[in-house]
A and B are shown apart, each in its own frame.
Chain A
Amino acid sequence: MSEARPSIAEAGERAPTDWRAAAMQRRLRRRYASERRFRLWGLAAVVISAAFLAFLLFTMAASGIGGFLRSEIALPIDLKSAALPVTPEQLRSRGADFALASAGLENFVGVAVVRAFGPEGGDLVADNAWTFVRDAVKRDPSLLGQRVTIWVPASSALEAGARGDGPAPMRALAARFKASGMLARGFDWAFLTGTDSTDPTAVGIWGGLKGSMFTMLVTLLIAFPVGVLSAIYLEEYAPRNRWTDLIEVSINNLAAVPSIIFGLLGLALFLNTLHLPRSAPLVGGLTLALMIMPVIVIASRNAIKAVPPSIRDAALGVGASKVQVIFHHILPLALPGVLTGTIIGMARALGETAPLLLIGMRAFIVAAPDTLTDPATVLPVQIFLWSDEVSRGFVEKTSAAIIVLLLFLLAMNGLAIYLRNRFETRW
């Protein structure tokens, strides 16, 4: 360094700095190199995380897309010869399902399957194929007097064959049916409208989806107002003393408690003490609300703290009361931050499995819930349950359910971000 900048002791007086000296040039080169290096590291970090995300989305889409499709096989059936003892009045009534079942439709469909596809034909159609015949008859009672062809879902073995999966004979059979136009693959609406089942070709996501919606609704209705009111009270009203410090520390710690602990709390409090119904979205929602409330409180307090004091002064200065200051000025300005905390909390609650297992939302439930107290399951638990199944058909359905969960998450966050941007104040 001494060549560029001789010390004062040597020169007696400080010499003018030589900005073109070799040492200066070296320093300059090192500085540029370190800037370039840092930029590259940052870029690499972004590329790595984007690649992980792309990989996740791609594999999920690739293996899940098949879960939304279903192979159907054309079943020729002579309903006239069956001469089922049901009247058109019965078919229009609410007891139509029962009338057709007790008239022996299931057996007759079984016979038609054997007649059409041979003695092993039962392996080619799904177990619930007869319900599709039943629904077709209910839609159009005139079918009972005709010889018709009805499309029914293929069995999971034939389904796998149609995908080019599974044993060779089944693959060949599927190819033959396909060539003769008797096997077709289409969008599986029943997957979106159906509920859980033991047969992978018959499962649907609606039960889990509706359960998740109900649970999220309860969570939002409890956690949002309680969280925001706590934040307002702690920021605006509570005196600063040892007790409020203790509360603050407790809230920060609660936000970090593992979610399964909240499941135990929900089990002890809502089921064992308050005797609320097991497996219900109400209890699930309450449990998740306890879990995300600290997140909302912390985010809301920070948002309230960030409102400039000059606005508070201005409102107080024209004679606004404390409540008016809070609701007319502070809260509107803090709302974007409050909503950000709520989005983070709700997204976490939507993906939560562990606490819900403990309050019984992992039961096998074949009916979508109609009220908040009906037994239900939620999307992540449904995914967990299906991923545990041995039947190969469930692999695709699991991925499809994950896609539904991600879309739900996307829709929920999209709505919240839209709301946040609407409330954002432009200064």
Chain B
Amino acid sequence: MNDLTALARNETAAGPPAQKISARNVNVYYGDKKAIDDVSIDVDRENVTAFIGPSGCGKSTFLRTLNRMNDTIPTARVEGEILLDGEDIYSPDMDVVQLRARVGMVFQKPNPFPKSIFENVAYGPRIHGLARNKADLGRIVEESLKRAGLWDEVKDRLADSGTALSGGQQQRLCIARAIAVDPEVILMDEPASALDPIATAKIEELIHELRGRYAIVIVTHNMQQAARVSQRTAFFHLGQMVEYGATSQIFTNPRQTRTKDYITGRYG
């Protein structure tokens, strides 16, 4: 019943949303295979949006279209329109490198660079010229690590390798690395699926704290997690978006039978 109290809390927090990203009639193909079928969705500026669904339903694929990470797959092809603050991110005028700085990403498996903790966080600001000098860069690193809730654990060993941290710490380091570039949106692709319950709880807490400052989209196959951290939930199945609405509504009163079957554990 914890989940229900979490839902209740989220409901009151969900104010009138302004849309940060709006996708219209998006199709994604891998070669001849259609992975995403005609998905339209609006992502709120102030809320955490969760994509749920069984394995292979296309939720990660769709997430990766939002910062054009699918560009790195030669056979992938995207149709339709995805607007970030009204700008078409697939238009030829859009600079994909800057897009990925504005729409940061945290991956399923923690993937810190094999460099020092400091360098991991400083890398983004450095390549985008966000710091005026060394002291400024130090401040950005400190602030990002604090916001990711990692500062107290690593402040005395910033020169140690990022890969020497525990799995949960590594994932928070990756979140700090994403925050350091000062993105507008953070995409999280099952950020806690490789972590133990305590590390997962810390990540979820962190998502709560980051909410409002960044538009957050999280993919998860853990329904309790979606219920705990998100205000809006989209249910994906077989490449289609079946249902999208307030998290409380999706979990307590789904309109589609497919959603209901998934929520109640019939499949997935």
Contacts and interface: CB of A to CB of B under 8 A. Distances in A.
A324 B105 CA distance: 18
Given A240-B74, A320-B97, A324-B127, A314 B112 contact: yes
B111 A313 contact: yes
B221 interface: no
Interface residues of A, number: 22
Given A310-B107, A318-B123, A319-B127, A425 B101 contact: no
B98 A319 contact: yes
A311 B102 CA distance: 19
B18 interface: no
Interface string B93-133: 00001111110111101011110000000011001100000
Interface in A306-340: 308, 310-321, 324, 328-329, 333
Interface residues of B, number: 30
Interface stretch (B33-41, B173-181, B260-268): B173-181
Nearest to B110: A310
B97 A314 contact: no
Nearest to A239: B74
Nearest to B105: A317
A314 B107 contact: yes
A427 B174 CA distance: 16
Nearest to A319: B101
A427 to B, nearest CB: 5
Contacts of A317: 67, 69, 100, 104-107, 178
Contacts of B163: 427
B129 to A, nearest CB: 11
A311 B109 contact: no
B113 A329 contact: yes
Contacts of B127: 318-321, 324, 328
A92 B100 CA distance: 73
B105 to A, nearest CB: 4
A245 to B, nearest CB: 15
Contact of A319 (B72, B100, B107, B114): B100
A318 B114 contact: no
B55 to A, nearest CB: 19
A332 B29 CA distance: 34
Interface in A292-313: 308, 310-313
B161 interface: yes
A318 B69 contact: no
B111 A311 contact: yes
A36 interface: no
B113 A314 contact: yes
A313 B113 CA distance: 11
Among B74, B99, B113, B180, which residue has the most Cβ atoms of chain A within 10 A?
B113
B100 A316 contact: yes
A319 B112 contact: no
A426 interface: yes
Contacts of B105: 313, 317
Contacts of B112: 314
Given A239-B74, A312-B72, A427-B114, A318 B104 contact: yes
B72 A316 contact: yes
Contacts of A311: 111, 113-114
B69 A316 contact: yes
Contact of A333 (B69, B114, B181): B114
Contacts of A333: 114
A426 B161 CA distance: 8
Contacts of A240: 74
Nearest to B114: A425
B113 A315 contact: yes
Contacts of A328: 123, 127
B104 A310 contact: no
A424 to B, nearest CB: 10
B108 to A, nearest CB: 9
B177 A318 contact: yes
A337 to B, nearest CB: 15
A321 B97 contact: yes
A318 B178 contact: yes
Contacts of A426: 114, 161
A314 B105 CA distance: 8
B111 A318 contact: no
A328 to B, nearest CB: 7
A333 B128 CA distance: 22
A315 B100 CA distance: 10
A333 B115 CA distance: 11
Contact of B107 (A239, A313, A321): A313
Contacts of B104: 317-318
Contacts of A312: 72
Nearest to B177: A318
B124 to A, nearest CB: 4
A425 B178 CA distance: 23
A319 B97 contact: yes
A319 to B, nearest CB: 3
B74 A314 contact: no
B166 to A, nearest CB: 14
Interface in A385-401: none
Interface in B51-100: 67, 69, 72, 74, 97-100
Nearest to B101: A319
Contacts of B181: 318-319
Contacts of A324: 127
A94 B29 CA distance: 81
Interface string B185-214: 000000000000000000000000000000
Given A311-B111, A318-B101, A320-B127, 19 more contacts: A310-B111, A313-B69, A313-B107, A313-B111, A314-B112, A314-B113, A316-B72, A317-B69, A317-B104, A317-B105, A318-B100, A318-B123, A318-B124, A318-B178, A319-B99, A319-B124, A319-B127, A324-B127, A425-B114
12 contacts: A311-B113, A312-B72, A313-B69, A317-B100, A317-B104, A317-B107, A317-B178, A318-B177, A318-B181, A319-B128, A319-B181, A425-B114
